[in-house]
Amino acid sequence: MKIRSLNIVAAFGLLLCLVFPLSAFANAADHHMPDQRPVQAFDVVAGKVVKTVPNGPEFQGYAKSWLKGVTGLSPKLQAEDKCGYVFRIPLDEPTAVKAGSEQITTQDVFLFYCPKKPQLLLIFDENRKPYLLKFKANIKPFLKAMDL
């Protein structure tokens, strides 16, 4: 059963990588890093990216605080979940994450947000192996900053 869940996570992770473009944000504003990829919101029901915003220190802070709040690996991801958003926050530098006995270095953080389900993070290691993580953090400031 664990292998099946991991395959679902891997397939979904691959889908996310294809859906979220890796190009740099073209019009850099003074308040964010010009070479930093943008933060994106993917609407799961609509099946598309619905918002792209410049990445900067505020979003870096949110993502890194979530990673510090990781409580462990999530047991599974249910493929039938069809609500909410998946947010992608590219990190300005590789960041180490401790998840149980695992030490993972990642460059992107994906936040799965569905109002009536536990929030989850998806990260990939340097070999693109996916890790689905449970975490404790207040994501309301982030949601407000995304204005969704």
3-state secondary structure of 47: coil
Question: pLDDT exceeding 90 applies to what percent of the chain?
Answer: 59
Nearest residue to 86 via CA among 43, 139, 129, 39: 43
pLDDT for the residue 83: 84
Q: For residue range 49-102, list pLDDT tens digits in order.
A: 999 999 999 999 999 999 999 999 888 665 446 789 999 999 999 999 998 788
Average pLDDT (11-30) is 37
The pLDDT value given to residue 116: 85
Classify 2-146 by CATH class.
Answer: alpha beta
Predicted local confidence at residue 99, as pLDDT: 81
